[in-house]
Amino acid sequence: MKKILINFAHPARSRSLINNALRSAIEGLENVTLNDLYAHYPDFLIDVKREQALCEEHDVIIFQHPFYWYSTPAIMKEWLDLVLQHGWGFGSHGNALAGKLFLQALTAGGDDSTYQKYGYNEFTISELTSPMRATAKLCKMTWLPPFAVLGIHRGLRQEKVSAYAEDYRQAVIALRDETLDLELVKQSPYLNSNLSTAIRRPV
C-alpha cells in the first residue's frame, strides 16, 4: 500500500463547494495524509523541514487546488519555492522525491471546450499545467495528467459534484493500492478522462 500526501490549498475554503466535496471524499482514508497549507501557514511562513519530512514519508504527492489564473493559489507557489530545495528535491544530489508520483487535482471555472486551441482560453489544461509537469520532471518524479474538475462556473448540479468526489476518491484509492494503470492514464488529457477503464478491478 502506497502512502499518499495531499497538499491542499484553498484560501477561502468556506466558499468552495467542489473543493470541499473533493476533500471530504478522501479525508480519513487509510494511508492518505491531508495537508491544508493555508490552515497551517496563515502567515505564509512555511515550515520547510516539516514539509520535506512529509514528502519523504509519502510515495504519491497530490497538489489539490483551484485553478487560479491558470496556475495555483499563491501559497502553493510559495511552497514550491521554499520546499523544493536544491540538493534535496533537485540537482545531482537532490533525490528525495525521485520516483514518487506527482499529481495535480484542480478545479477550474471553464469547461473542457474553453480549454482548447479555438476555445475561450486558447490553451489546453495540459499546456497550462506544463510548468508543474516540468517541475515534476526536474524532481525526477513520475508525472501524471491532472485530475480535473472543469466547468464549475456554470454551477455543477449536486449529483455531478458527488460524482466528481467519488471519482476522486476512487482515483486516490487506486493510486494507494497500485491498481491504476499508469501507462493508460498517461495517454489521456486528464487522469479522470476514463477512470473506470484505467482502474484494474481485482480479479
Partner 1 sequence: MEQFLLQLFIFLAAAAIAVPIAKKLGLGSVLGYLIAGIVIGPFGFSMIGNVEDVMHFTEFGVVMMLFLVGLELKPSLLWQMRTPILGMGGTQVVVSSVLIAGVAIAFLPWQQGLAVGLILSLSSTAIVLQTLREKGLMDTSSGRSIFSVLLFQDLAVIPMLALLPLLATVPLSHDDGHHGSHLFDIGTLPGYAQVLITLGAILAILLLGKYASRPIFRIIASTRVREIFVAAALALVVGISVLMTVVGLSPALGAFLAGVVLADSEYRHELESDIEPFKGLLLGIFFISIGASLNFTLIGDEILLITGLVLGLMGLKALVLFVTGLAFKVQKSDRTLFSISLAQGGEFAFVLFQFSKTNGVLPSTTIDPLISAVAISMFLTPLLFLAYDKLSAKQQISGDTRESDNIDKKGHKVILAGFGRLGTDLGRFLMTAGIKPVILDHDAGNVDVLRKFGFEVYYGDVTRLDLLEAAGAAEAELLVITISDVEKARELVELVSKHYPHLKIASIAADRTSAYELMDHGVTVIRRETYGSALNLGFDTLKLLGFEPYEASRMKSIFQRNDDAMLSELHKIHRQDEENYVSMYQKHTAELEELMTLDKNNSSDELDKAWAPANPED
Q: Which stretch binds partner 1 (CB under 8 A): 7-15, 127-135, 137-145, 177-185?
A: 7-15
Q: Which stretch binds partner 1 (CB under 8 A): 11-19, 76-84, 124-132, 190-198?
A: 11-19
Q: Which stretch binds partner 1 (CB under 8 A): 9-17, 25-33, 52-60, 166-174?
A: 9-17
Q: Are 23 and 8 in contact (CB under 8 A)?
A: yes
Residue 72, amino acid: T
Taking CB under 8 A as the rule, does residue 120 contact partner 1? Answer: yes
List the one residue from 16, 116, 126, 188 that touches partner 1 (CB under 8 A): 16
Q: How far is the CB of 134 from partner 1 (least distance, A)?
A: 26
Distance of alpha carbon 77 from alpha carbon 7, whole angstroms: 12
Within 54-73, which residues bind partner 1 (CB under 8 A)?
66, 68
Phi, psi of 165 (to 5 degrees): -60, -40
Phi, psi of 36 (to 5 degrees): -85, 105
* Paired strand residues for 103: 62
CB atoms within 10 A of CB 178: 12
CB atoms within 10 A of CB 65: 22
List the one residue from 94, 109, 119, 189 that touches partner 1 (CB under 8 A): 109
Q: Which stretch binds partner 1 (CB under 8 A): 4-12, 88-96, 98-106, 135-143?
A: 4-12
List the one residue from 11, 94, 119, 189 that touches partner 1 (CB under 8 A): 11
> Residue with C-alpha cell 476518491?
169
CA distances from 13 to 9, 36, 153 (A): 9, 10, 16
Residues that bind partner 1 (CB under 8 A): 10-16, 38-40, 42-43, 66, 68, 109-110, 120, 152-154
